[in-house]
A and B are shown apart, each in its own frame.
Chain A
Amino acid sequence: MALKSLSPGRGVNSHGLNGREVKSRGGNGRDRAERRVAFRMTAPSLVLMALVAAVPIGYALWLSLNQYSVRTAGLSRFVGLENYITALSGPHWWAAFGQTFLFAGLSVSLELVLGTAMALLLNLAFKGRALLRTVVLLPYAVVTVVSAITWETMFAPNLGLVTNVLSTLGLPGGDVVWLGEHGYAMAVIVLADVWKTTPFAALIILAGLQVISAETYEAAELDGASKWQAFVNVTLPLLRPAIVLAAIFRTMDALRVFDLPFVLTRGANGTESMSMLAYTQLRENRLVGEGSALSILTFLTVMAVSVVYIRFAGGNIREVAKEEQ
């Protein structure tokens, strides 16, 4: 159910729409009337979408082409792409770009592996399964800032739970200043993200898992497949669309990461993300033009990545969605 509603299904719909358009051009009055009703019914949401999405993005785009300084206090000067050149030629954007991708790569791959494992576990028939499915989602329900503060506390030098336990047990890491060095700080940030969003990935993958019918496995068993062979040759291929979908959602989210590095390190030790950079310029420094350029660049990056995903891996989703219909 989740898969159906979550999968874009764009391929299917637009094909359908195109097909219908061709037909209705030469079609009868009833078709046209129907289309009018359809249009009237969707118009309010289209207008709403335009207002909440297109207008602000367009406005940000406009702001990014202008120069505003604290001195001129809101008076602007059109400067074309100057803000983009400033942003792209300085070291900050590229550092943040690289670090954000490093973070996204690490956290999303971990989340997919763990999420698949978790989904397989939750898919087993056992007593209290419904309860466990709910409980597993709890980390996702925690507000990110709260969990970030908790992680910060746990990894605090000397006083933190993790550092304390490690040093009491004589394990390495007890005397490490986790948030004071690049590698360790990145590890904590990735860990915090994995802890929080693995359940979300698991939920999507679980939905995919439930679509696979028992007969498929029975057939595999008849063919003499072992459990492992069944997993590799039946489960994984059929699960791929769900995993790709989870990957898209998680990657888009991870590339926009803000709160975790903001709380945990304030961007120190090379953990500044693209969103943090835009925030600093926009809000703290009131450099509206440059800040807007940075947010547009972030937006374009995330868009580009999702287009690549959908182009190269999205075919699977379309096929599954088609099959289901």
Chain B
Amino acid sequence: MDLIRPSSPLQEDTTPSQAVARTTALHRSSRRPRTVAVAAAAMAAGLLLSGCGGGAATPGAENASAADPASAAGATGSINICGGKDASGIYKGTAEAFTTANGKVTAKYTEIGATTDEARTQAVQRLEGKSTECDIFLTDVIWTSEFASQGWLLDQTKLVEANKDRLIPSTVETAKYEDKYWASPFFTNAGLVYYQKDKVAKPETWQQLYAEAAAAPGNSFVYQGKQYEGLTVNFLEMLYSAGGEVLDSKGEVKIDSPETREVLDFMSQGLKDGSAERAVLTYNEDPARLAYESGNYGYQRNWPHVFRLLNATPLAGSFGVAPLPAWEGGKASGVLGGWNLAISAHSTNQAGAVSFIDFATTPDWQKHVAMDFSQAPVNEAAYSDAAVLAKMPFATELLASVKGAKPRPISPVYPQISQAIYKNVYAVLSGAASTEDAVKSMAEEIKTAKASF
């Protein structure tokens, strides 16, 4: 039994034991002969009790107060930063470096969840309960609109404006909701294509990549085709570069388009002609990487952290790293991942929080983000720094991917929108639905999701 290698089903960066710990709780409750209702009610109670009790505050982003960039100068006391598991040590590392550098404000890091999902639930519970425990929450880029729409976050527009020259514009976009900024980017993430230099050429367009992948049996393309968030990302990368979109700038649903049909047909055709094996329908990040490591593939779409892992395999030296390709005749445009720093509306030390964000986004510390913790910086200069390039030789390609990338659909009901996308895309890829039907129901479900807000 190999329990160390298989990826967790829950999150890309979860170890099996965390997955176990997390789902054991669910499992236990489902063993009791009183059905899930008990578990469900308990969960619902947890989510809601505090919210019901609060009463007074009007939810919504309109009434949020703003963070003052000038307040950092006089900051004292301590701040608490809350987020998920600190796998690379970046959260604790940054808190310690800040405490040393600042001298007046002490920062500590509190892990509130083992997986991304769990961290979100824990953050939601604290925010709904108006807890003052956490001054800063590490937020996944896709949480911004939901959290901001609830009035849970401090408006960081002034702070972001003040720091704008040091931040890559696309990364700041992930913190935007209704024309204001609700967080500052801390580190980012963008998809890359790894390719076997001896078998296939560096991919310039998706069409070329798929054609070469189909040309020989050992050339095929592995990506994340399992029914989950990762499939939404893989699909959107292709849709965006084909010029399609999910929601326009006004929030109107634009998924029912020729571009969506083209991309869906293209992807499902790829599974038929051997550009990609049917096995990708079961892959999330780790299985895709493990399959690629066997050496029987030409291309792999994955995240930057795979570079270090691939270098520890016999493939070291034989693979190249490329930014995501463009659609023929278009411009490459991926999808941004990464984590932002949001200040809780209930923070008791907002000035301290502002000074921490100032520190974490400085060009100097952003270099450490890359060198010490192998994460993608949000400062452009860091990517051409010699010390960073020594540790991250693909920094130029990564920067190209980051700069070209767009946020995922911005909406407080993003989880539902993502489900509508990955379930219908999966249905087309697995052959359970036609492109036409999938596009129609995708559009329908996204509209229903938006209406539920």
Which residue of chain B is the closest to A257 with respect to CB atoms? Answer: B30
Q: Which residues of B contact A278 (CB under 8 A)?
A: 36, 40
With A179-B282, A180-B281, A286-B47 known as contacts, the answer to whether A303 contacts B26 (CB < 8 A) is no
- B41 near A57 with CB under 8 A, answer yes
A210 on the B face (CB < 8 A): no
- B452 near A287 with CB under 8 A, answer yes
B52 on the A face (CB < 8 A): yes
Main SS of the interface on chain B? helix
The answer, among A57, A265, A283, for a CB contact under 8 Å with B227, is: A265
- B416 near A285 with CB under 8 A, answer yes
Q: What is the CA–CA distance of A278 and B413 in the complex, to the nearest angstrom?
A: 17
Main SS of the interface on chain A? helix
Q: Which residues of B contact A153 (CB under 8 A)?
A: 1-2, 5-6
Which residue of chain B is the closest to A147 with respect to CB atoms? Answer: B1
With A156-B282, A284-B415, A287-B452 known as contacts, the answer to whether A71 contacts B38 (CB < 8 A) is no
B149 on the A face (CB < 8 A): yes
Which residue of chain B is the closest to A274 with respect to CB atoms? Answer: B36
Which residue of chain B is the closest to A152 with respect to CB atoms? Answer: B6
Q: Which residues of A in the span 176-223 have a Cβ within 8 Å of any Cβ on B? A: 177-182
**Residue of A146, A150, A302 most packed against chain B (CB within 10 A):** A146
Interface string of B21-43 (1 = CB under 8 A from A): 00110110011011111111111
Q: Which residues of A contact B146 (CB under 8 A)?
A: 70
The answer, among B20, B36, B290, for a CB contact under 8 Å with A299, is: B36
With A145-B19, A146-B20 known as contacts, the answer to whether A70 contacts B452 (CB < 8 A) is yes
Size of the B side of the interface (Cβ < 8 Å), in residues, is 69
A319 on the B face (CB < 8 A): no
Q: Which residues of A in the span 58-100 have a Cβ within 8 Å of any Cβ on B? A: 59-60, 63, 68-76
Q: Which residues of B in the span 394-429 have a Cβ within 8 Å of any Cβ on A? A: 412-413, 415-416, 419, 423, 426
Q: What is the CA–CA distance of A299 and B1 in the complex, to the nearest angstrom?
A: 35
A252 on the B face (CB < 8 A): yes
The answer, among B150, B227, B287, for a CB contact under 8 Å with A156, is: B287
B78 on the A face (CB < 8 A): no
Interface string of B334-374 (1 = CB under 8 A from A): 00000000000000000000000000000000000000000
Q: What is the size category of the interface that chain A forms with chain B? A: 35 or more
Please list 12 pairs of residues, one from A and one from B, whose beta carbons are closer than 8 Å in the complex, sorted by A's number: A60-B40, A60-B41, A71-B59, A74-B50, A144-B23, A145-B19, A149-B6, A159-B291, A259-B27, A282-B40, A288-B48, A295-B36
B residues touching A (Cβ–Cβ < 8 Å)? 1-3, 5-6, 8-9, 16, 19-20, 23-24, 26-27, 30-31, 33-45, 47-48, 50-52, 54, 59-60, 117, 121, 124, 128, 146, 149-151, 226-228, 277-279, 281-282, 287, 290-291, 294, 296, 412-413, 415-416, 419, 423, 426, 430, 432, 452-453
Given pairs A57-B41, A73-B150, A299-B34, 9 additional interface contacts (CB within 8 A): A70-B453, A74-B50, A74-B52, A75-B51, A76-B52, A146-B3, A149-B16, A262-B23, A275-B36
